[in-house]
Structure 1
C-alpha cells in the first residue's frame, strides 16, 4: 500500500511539473482509448445482432419448408418436387434445380450436397395406400449414370415394398419413405437420413396397421 501511495504521489508531482508538456498526450490517449472502447462495443453489438439474425433466418428457413403430410398429400407432382428442392437448399445443398418433366431421364431434382458430392433425386408423391415397386427404383439407377451423380435418392410420400427397399440398399440408393420424409420435412437433414436408410417401415404388424389405415 505504501509503495502504491508513493507511486501515485510521484505521478502527481510529475504531472504538476510537466503538465504543460504532457497534457496534450494524455488527453489524446484518453480520447483514443474512449474511441477504441466505443468501436469495440459497436463491433461486438453488430456481431451479436448478426448472429441472432442468422439464427432467426435459419429457423425461418426450416419453418418455411415445413408442411403437414396431409398438405403434402394434396400437392401436385410438380409442387412436391419444388418442396423437395427447397428442403435440399435448406440443408445447404447448392446448384439445386428441378429437372422433372418430359424427357427428364429419370430425375426430378439434381444438385450438390454440402460435402461436394453430386446428387440426383426421384420424387414420387403417391397416395399413402400405394407401394413403391423395385422397377421404379431401376429408373433412378439410369438417372444416376446419366447425370454422373455420386448419390441417388428416392423420395416418396408412401412406403417401399420389401423387394424395393432391399434393391435400394443393394444399389446404394437412399430410400426416403413417408416416415423419413416426415422427419426431413420437420428439420432433420437429408444426410442424417442416410444413417437410417432401409429402416423405419416397421415389422409385419406395423405394415398390417398401415394397410388397414390406408386401405391396402
Structure 2
C-alpha cells in the first residue's frame, strides 16, 4: 500500500513595498534631530568659550553621575545580600520555635494520660465536726454585756423631735399599750402617737420637744384640743413636753380634759416612779369635748 506524501503547507510571504511617504517623513525627522543636536552643541560651545569654568563643572557633574550610578549598583547588591540573610535567619528561627511547640504538645498529652481520681473520704480521713464536737452556743445577753436601749436610758434633751416621738411610743408600749403607732408628720392634725391603753381606751399623744426656756402656750393646747377628740376620737388626750406649760395653757387643758405632762412628770413616768398618764387623765365628757372644739375653732 502506497502512503501518500504529506502536503507541504503553503506559506504566504509578505512582500515589503517601498513607501515614499514614510521614507520622506523619516529623513525629515532625522534632519530635525540633527539640527537640534547641532544647535545644542553650538550653544554649549559658545557658553564654554565665554565661561571656561563651566567645562570643569560639567566634567564634575558627569563624574559624579557615573560614581552615583556605580554606588547605587553596589547598594542594591548589599540590599539583596541582606534580604537573603534575613530570610535565612527567619527560616532557622521558625524551625527552632516549632520544635518546643511539638514537645509541649507531647507533655500536655502525657498529663492528660495520667490516671487521676479524686481522693475519697477514707483517703483524706476527714469528717465534718458534729455539734457536740464543736460545743458552741450563741452567747447570751449577759455574756456579751449588751442590752437593748430602754426608755429609762433616753436623754430627751439630746433627741430630735422625731426621735422624741419614738421614745414616747416606746414608753407606751413598755407600760402595756397595744397598737402603738408613730403618726406624727405633715398633716397629722395634732396627733403624734396613737395607741390603746391596757383597759381598752384610745390614747392620742402630741409631743412638744422644746428646751427649758420655751414653754408650751395656750395656742398649742387649742390646736391640739380642736382635733384630739373630734378628729382622732381620743378617749385619753395627752400633751407631753420636755419643758413646761404656761398658766393659760394649763387652764385650757383643765377645761378640755387634756392631760399635760411636763419635763419633770415625764422623767417620773420614764423612771417608773410616777403614775401612768392614762391612769390620771381627766375624763373627757361631752361638755368638755364641745368646749375644746369651740375654743380650737376660735383659735
Settle same-fold status: TM greater than 0.5: yes
Residue in 1 that maps onto 2:176: 92
Deviations 1:38-95 (A, max 9, x none): xxxxxxxxxxxxxxxxxxxxxx89x811135xx2111100000000000001110111
User: CA separation in 1, counterparts of 2:277 and 2:266?
Assistant: 12
Q: Tell me if 1:105 matches 2:189.
A: yes
Per the alignment, residue 160 of structure 2 pairs with 76
Query: Which structure has the highest strand share of the two?
Result: 1
Structure 2: gaps spanning 5 or more residues: 1-146, 283-299
Aligned to 1:151: 236
Match of 1:178 among 249, 263, 266: 263
CA contact (8 A) 1:180 1:193 kept: no
Structure 1 96/87 Cα, relative in aligned 2: closer, same or farther at 3 Å? same
Specify the structure having the higher radius of gyration (Cα).
2
SS at match of 1:88: helix
For 1:173-207, what per-residue CA distance to the aligned partner results, in whole angstroms no more than 9, with x for missing partners?
010011100101111342476279xxxxxxxxxxx
Structure (1/2) with the larger helix percentage: 1
RMSD: 2.1
Deviation at 1:166, TM superposition (A): 1.2
Number of equivalences: 134
Higher relative contact order, structure no. (Cα contacts within 8 Å, ≥ 6 residues apart)? 1
C-alpha spacing 1:72/1:101, structure 2 compared with 1 (3 Å): same
TM-score between the two structures when normalised by the length of structure 2? 0.42
* 1:160 alignment partner in structure 2: 245
